[in-house]
Amino acid sequence: MAAACAFLPDADAIGYKLGVAYDSLWGHRGLTHSLLAALVVATLLTALSRLGSPARNPPAARLWLTLLLATASHGFLDAATTGGLGVAFFSPFEQQRYFFPLRPIKVSPIGIRAFFSSWGIRVLLSEALWIALPCAVALGLRSPRMTSATD
């Protein structure tokens, strides 16, 4: 679920095909990339998970926080990219879009065909350097006490 939450905000890209303006509430990096959307997604998915087998579910608070961070991480990473109009973190209450001061991640092309080009390769290399490598280092530094047989 966390992996799906990490890419869920880009469901707004369907708006390109429907004629939704990029800078609108429903445009790319708008409401679906907001902190409110991350809260709603995490809350709904945690509630839905409680309907299944309780013995197989992680504690609700841990699941909720994991899903919240996974969903919100998408907007935070987009705010560190070199292109676009920024991220509407506080949508729908505020439509201002934001970037972080440090923007080292190459912006990804939109569309599968464009992604499989030299531009797409540069994006993948940028993401490997600025996302995958730090995550791998953090994982490697993780204390063995932080894991358990049930994880």
Please state at what angle helix 60-78 crosses helix 35-49, rounded to 10 degrees: 150
pLDDT digits (tens, 9 = 90+) for 106-125: 998 877 787 788 888 999 99
Contact 92, 25 (CB under 8 A): yes
Tokens coding 151 = 């994880």
| pLDDT at position 116 | 83
Q: Are residues 39 and 88 in the same domain?
A: yes
pTM of the model: 0.85
Q: Measured between alpha carbons, how far apart are the two ends of the chain, in Å?
A: 15
| 39 lies in the same domain as 13 | yes
Q: Provide the residue range defining the domain that includes 135.
A: 107-151
Q: Tell me which amino acid residue 49 is.
A: S
Quote the CA–CA distance of 53 and 51 in Å, as a whole number. 7
DSSP class of 150: T
The residue among 149 and 57 whose pLDDT is bigger is 57
Number of domains composing the chain: 2
14 and 67 inside one domain: yes
The 10s digit of each residue's pLDDT in 6-17 is 999 999 989 988
Q: Are residues 78 and 127 in the same domain?
A: no
